[in-house]
Amino acid sequence: MRLHIADPRNQEETLTTASNFNIRSATENDAGTIFSLIKELADYERLAHEVVATEDDIRKSLFGERPFAEALIGEYEQIPISFALFFHNFSTFVGKPGIYLEDLYVKPEYRSNGFGRKMLVHIARLALKRNCGRFEWSVLDWNTPAIRTYDKLNAKPMKDWILYRLTGEALLELANEG
């Protein structure tokens, strides 16, 4: 296995090679691939009706003047089969940044080959390289294959915490208060 980790924000390629599976930092040319994989993920999660983003939104948000997140592309035999999208957050208790994994997706026909785990290992290494104190993500409660994978990693569910979200009209109402 050959491993080279560089900060994607410095425009250096991040590459992990094991067998015929490579992980690399996404580039602007990958916006269409990322968007396509996002739509596949939404179908898998039974949330396709919630996808309002466009390929252009992904391009601007990941590669525009102020990138808000980063993405990795997993390729098997040079074919994109997975992606991970993540961003930095901050822990006031730890006093360090963290990485929040928004999405990790592997095409169904490539699952159970360890590719998702390799993506997680890659991001964990980035977190350590960037002096992050945490690496966090959410999972749908019915996604037992993913939950089993996370349990094998010794990741701990945060059962004391409840995720809250404001979107749409509720977000507008709060923003317009006062």
CATH number, domain at 105? 3.40.630.30
Q: Is the pLDDT of residue 10 over 50?
A: no
Number of domains in the chain: 1
Q: Is the pLDDT of residue 16 over 50?
A: no
Q: Mind listing the pLDDT tens digit for each residue in 120-133? A: 999 999 999 999 99
Q: Are strands 96-106 and 134-137 parallel, antiparallel or unpaired?
A: parallel
How far apart, in whole angstroms, are the C-alpha atoms of residue 114 and residue 97?
27
E-assigned strand segments in 124-164? 134-137
Q: Catalytic residue numbers?
A: 150
Query: Do 13 and 24 touch, CB atoms closer than 8 A?
Result: yes
**Model pTM above 0.95:** no
Dihedral (C-alpha) 77, 78, 80, 85: value to the nearest 10 degrees?
110
Q: Is the pLDDT of residue 21 over 50?
A: yes
Q: Mind listing the pLDDT tens digit for each residue in 41-50? A: 999 999 999 9
> For position 18, what pLDDT does the model report?
52
> For position 175, what pLDDT does the model report?
96
* Boundaries of domain holding 130: 2-175
Closest-CA residue to 8 (of 76, 62, 48, 83): 62
Q: Is the pLDDT of residue 8 over 60?
A: no
Query: Do 21 and 122 touch, CB atoms closer than 8 A?
Result: no
Radius of gyration for the alpha carbons in the chain, expressed in angstroms and rounded: 17
Q: Is the pLDDT of residue 107 over 70?
A: yes
Q: Residue range 78-99: average pLDDT?
A: 97
Closest-CA residue to 19 (of 96, 156, 109, 115): 115
Percent of the chain with pLDDT over 70: 90
Q: Specify the 3-state DSSP secondary structure of 122.
A: helix
Q: Mind listing the pLDDT tens digit for each residue in 31-72? A: 999 999 999 999 999 999 999 999 999 999 999 999 999 999
How far apart, in whole angstroms, are the C-alpha atoms of residue 43 and residue 46?
5
